[in-house]
Amino acid sequence: MMHSNTVSASKITISELMLPSHSNFSGKIHGGYLLKLMDQIAFACASKYSGSYCVTASVDTVDFLNPVEIGELVTLKASVNYVGTTSMVVGIRVISENIQTGKMKHCNSSYFTMVAKDEKGNNVKVPRLILSSFDEIRRFYDSLYRIQSKKLSREIERKFDYKTKEALENLQHYNVEISEKLL
């Protein structure tokens, strides 16, 4: 029988001071650097939970809500929100803090789907998730909703015929121009 694990057993927090070398041309911390940190904590969280090596399968909803400044302390918090058979959804929250004033900003919330692997690269089963609070149940359902919405969206995209006259006419509502040879 597969063993179980709690959400709290997956929780990880990391903090890092943002340096000038992490900045982009506008003097803010580069989004790619923050994504790298988020991928690292997602790996650590999923691996800690599953006891296996994990790889990133997808990244959902990366919204940069507030810029991060040089000299701020960035803290990332991660936990497993959902488990499938071999995959896990890791929720990540990114907060920046001005260490001189103590002012904190929510900079990002994101969801990484991680897959557990064995030493040969084959998918392996992950432990069942023990939900211990209503907040954990809400996060599980939120993940389930995002997964189902993504599947439905893919199905609609597969069935949509973008070559129909109606589809081409609909594009007049957007900032595009259709070449005459396509009409």
Superfamily name and number for 4-131 = Hotdog Thioesterase (3.10.129.10)
Q: What is the pLDDT of residues 52-75, one digit of tens each?
A: 999 999 999 888 999 999 999 999
- Residue 121 CA to its chain's centroid (Å): 22
Domain locations along the chain: 4-131
**Mean pLDDT of the residues in the chain:** 94
- pTM attached to this predicted model: 0.88
Torsion angles phi and psi, residue 45, rounded to 5: -65, -50
Give the CA angle between residues 136, 137, 141 to the nearest 5°. Answer: 115
Give me the percent of the chain exceeding a pLDDT of 70.
99
Buried b / exposed e along 74-111 (16+ C-beta atoms within 10 A): bbbbbbbbbbeebbbbbbbbbbbbeeeeeeebebbebb
